[in-house]
Amino acid sequence: MKSGESLQIGQRVCTEDGALATVRYVGPVEGTKHEWAGVEWDDPSRGKHDGSHGGKRYFECAGVGESCASFVRFHKILAGVTFMDAMKNKYQAQSKGTSVENAAAENMYIDAGNTGRRVDVQLVGKQDILEKQSKLDELVSVYLPDSCVDTAGPRGEISGEAGKISELDISGNLFEDWSAIQRFNEELPALEHLEVSGMPLRWPDSLPAAMAFANLKTLVMNNTGVAWSQMRHLHTVVPALEELHLCGNQISSLSGTEGEPTNADCFPNLRSLFLEDNDLQTWDQVVPSQRAALVVLRSTKPSISCLPPQHIAAIIILGST
């Protein structure tokens, strides 16, 4: 990106080395000759400060930490791409032998034990597979994680070129809010499995039932920062949901407040609820009146030791790491 004119505060961006961040500031920094983008990194270990530099505060960070932010030159920030551009680059470029990934695959080998020799291997039927994948209008499973996608593109583009998709992974991309995700509902009526992990999505005040993912059965929202109170209102747009993944979201309770729908009313068809790596401490916080037949969580809190509710058919407790 040559200039910061197109950058907006709150915009999700990807840098040239593949790191994700949120723009918190665009402008000059005292003591330098250039303008900069002040970003808060998804991975706080990349940061150098908390939005302050040289004794002056330029921006605030949403996360907790003294070094989760940095100033980045504009040319190191990549421009986002549309969903179809990313899809064509992955699936059609490979069949034409133009992608880096495909070129690397041409030189596949394995090490022959301790001899130091490399034995060439060949993927049988590789070209047939690539040719089949290049027919976008026939694909039902599409995986585009970490592809710098920031928009679904013009209305009708996805449905016109790849409308049969029923399983979609767009985790780790640059979508900023749930409204942008709902565009895929308009484009992909057959969608049953959706993964949107690793994106801190903003939520609208209301979710119209008219924009429902009518056939969606599995929703994966790990490490998105979503709160259970937001999920309780999501039920209006995922009426057929059977499997819900909410791992790593710092959820401390599944209880609601007065006037909200009960958990049982939220997702009446839910069969599996995945809650690993959250902050739940008691079964009352985990599944109050929830109808899920299977609950999966990671036991990081020793207080989750009492018997679970009888209406839960199966519990899987993963060991602490």
Structural domain includes residue 103? no
* Segment 199-214, tens digit of pLDDT: 998 887 777 666 789 9
pLDDT at 306: 46
Question: Is the domain of 158 the same as that of 307?
Answer: yes
d(CA 190, CA 272): 21
- Which tokens go with 295? 């609950």
Q: Are 142 and 162 in contact (CB under 8 A)?
A: yes
pTM for this predicted structure: 0.80
Question: Is the domain of 185 the same as that of 289?
Answer: yes
Question: Is the domain of 175 the same as that of 289?
Answer: yes
CATH number at residue 310: 3.80.10.10
* Cβ count near 251 (within 10 Å): 21
Question: Is the domain of 162 the same as that of 219?
Answer: yes
Question: Is the domain of 22 the same as that of 145?
Answer: no
Max distance between CA atoms of the chain, in angstroms, equals: 70
Q: Which domain holds residue 206?
A: 81-95+136-318
Q: Are 149 and 89 in contact (CB under 8 A)?
A: no
Give the ranges where the chain is alpha helix by DSSP (H): 83-87, 93-95, 100-105, 126-133, 157-162, 178-187, 228-234, 263-266, 283-286
Question: Is the domain of 141 the same as that of 74?
Answer: no
| Residue 135 CB contacts under 8 Å (≥ 6 apart), including other chains | none
d(CA 264, CA 123): 49
pLDDT at 3: 65
Give the ranges where 31-177 is alpha helix by DSSP (H): 83-87, 93-95, 100-105, 126-133, 157-162
Structural domain includes residue 1? no
Structural domain includes residue 211? yes
Of 52, 78, 104, which residue sits at a domain end?
Answer: 78
Structural domain includes residue 106? no
CATH number at residue 57: 2.30.30.190
Mean pLDDT rounded to a whole number for the chain: 80
- Which tokens go with 32? 């330098």
d(CA 53, CA 287): 45
Question: Is the domain of 32 the same as that of 141?
Answer: no
Sheet architecture: strand order including 20-28: 69-72, 35-41, 20-28, 12-15, 77-78
Question: Is the domain of 141 the same as that of 71?
Answer: no
Question: Is the domain of 68 the same as that of 91?
Answer: no
* Segment 3-61, tens digit of pLDDT: 667 899 999 999 999 999 999 999 999 999 889 999 999 999 999 999 999 999 999 99
pLDDT at 129: 52
d(CA 147, CA 169): 11
Question: Is the domain of 72 the same as that of 88?
Answer: no
Q: Which of 302, 267, 307 is nearest to 283 (CA)?
A: 307
Question: Is the domain of 259 the same as that of 157?
Answer: yes
The number of distinct structural domains making up the chain is 2
Structural domain includes residue 161? yes
Structural domain includes residue 232? yes
d(CA 185, CA 123): 36
Q: Which range, 130-134, 212-216, 261-265, 296-300, is most confident?
A: 212-216
Question: Is the domain of 91 the same as that of 236?
Answer: yes
